Copies of this chain bind each other. A is one copy, B any other.
Amino acid sequence: MSQVVVVGAGVIGLSCALTLSEGGYKVKVVAANFPTDPLSSKYTSSWAGAHYRPFPSLTDKDYEDAMLTRVTYDYFKKLSVEEPESTVKWVQGVDFVEEKGIYGVNSRGYYEGIDDMKIVPREQYPPGVAFGASYTTWVLNSPLYIQYLMRKLTFKYGVTFTRAELISLKQISQAYPGHIIVNATGMGLQWDGGYDGDCFPIRGQTLLVRVPQDCLYLNKTVTHQSKDGLWTFVIPRPHHGGVILGGTKQLDDYQSTPKEEDTNALIERAKILYPELFIEGQLDIRNVNVGFRSARNGGLKVELEKYPGNVSVVHAYGAGGMGYELSYGAAKKVEEIVKGIWPKSKL
C-alpha cells in the first residue's frame, strides 16, 4: 500500500495532499488546525491576502522557487475556469517600487511565464516611484480556497483528516508505520521535536475592508514598495470577500492581537496611496487580521530526508509570505519526490 501522511493542513499541506491524491496515492492529513476552525493566530493560511507577484531572482534558489510559483500560476489558470468555486480570479497586478534596485528588464526570473508583463510608462508613476510593472495575476479568497481544498480532498479523494497536537515527527512515524511522511508544518517540526532552527515567524497585520461598489481595487491588486522598506498593498478577495489592505512585515514580533498603531499607520498610508478605498472619508474596516508567515533562512525547503527505521520524510515548509504562490508548485515537487521513493502504478 502506497500510503502517505501529510502533517499540517495549511495551504502547503493541503496542496501536497491534493497532488498526491491526484497522483493516485492514498493520503491522510494530520494537523493541529484545520481551515474550518475559527480563525486563530496559530493557523496562518486563513489570513493571507493571497495574490501573485513575480520577483527578480538574486540566487539560483530564488530562481528555482520562482519557477515553482509559475507551476502554481499555470495550475490556477486551469482551476479558475474548471472550478470557479476555488475562488481563483484573474486581475491586473501592478507593482510600484521607490528604489529600483534589482527590478528591470534584465532581471532573471521576473518576466518568464507571466502574462501581459510590461513596464509601466514613467508618466503613470505615482510620486516617488522609480519603477513600475504591470501583469496579469491571480487573486483568491484565502479562507475559502483552503476550505475548498479540504472539501475536494474529503469528497473527491476520500482523504481523512485527524486532529493532533504534535511534538515531534517521530510520533507520526510511530502512529503511521510504513507511511511516507510529508512535513508541511510551516516552521519545520523536527524528528525529535522542536522546530527547524532556520525558521522564524514574520508578523503581518492587515485590514479587511469594505470598499465602494465601484472601487477599482475590486478588480486590481497594487503593491507599493517604499524607500523606507514599507510594503503597502491592496488585494481583492473574490466572492464578496472585501479587500485586504496591508501590511506589515515584523520580525521578532510575536503579538497575535492587532496593534492600533499598525492599523493607524496603514490607514495613513492608504489615504495617500489608495484613497479610492474610503467610503465617505472613512475606511470601513471589517476585521483586523494578524498572521505569522513561517519564513526560513534559505527560503522554502522541499527535500527528502531519511530517519531511523528507514522512514522517508519529505519536507515542505518555510514558504514565508509565499505560501499560496508556491503551493501547487511545491506540492508537485513533493509528489515527484514521493514517486521517486514509491512509484505508484495506475490503479
As a 0/1 sequence over residues 147 to 174 of chain A, the CB contacts with chain B under 8 angstroms (1 = contact) are 0100110111010000000000000000
For the complex, count residues of A whose C-beta is within 8 A of B: 23
Given known contacts A158-B210, A210-B158, is B241 in contact with A151 (CB within 8 Å)? yes
Whether A87 sits at the interface, judged by CB under 8 Å, is yes
Given known contacts A84-B84, A240-B148, is B154 in contact with A286 (CB within 8 Å)? yes
B-chain residues with CB within 8 Å of residue A158 when the two chains form the complex: 210, 279, 284
Between A154, A155, A239, A286, the greatest number of chain B beta carbons within 10 A of the residue's beta carbon is seen for A155
CB A157 to nearest CB in B, in angstroms, measures 9
Q: How far is the CA of A154 from the CA of B242 in the complex (A)?
A: 8
Task: Decide: A240 and B151 in contact? CB cutoff 8 A.
Answer: yes
CB A322 to nearest CB in B, in angstroms, measures 26
Task: Decide: A151 and B85 in contact? CB cutoff 8 A.
Answer: no
Whether A38 sits at the interface, judged by CB under 8 Å, is yes
Whether A264 sits at the interface, judged by CB under 8 Å, is no
Task: Decide: A85 and B155 in contact? CB cutoff 8 A.
Answer: no
Give the interface of A toward B (CB within 8 A). Answer: 37-38, 84-85, 87, 148, 151-152, 154-156, 158, 210-211, 213, 238-242, 279, 284, 286
Q: Which 8 A-B pairs give the minimum distances between C-beta atoms?
A: A151-B240, A85-B239, A155-B242, A152-B240, A155-B240, A155-B210, A84-B84, A158-B210
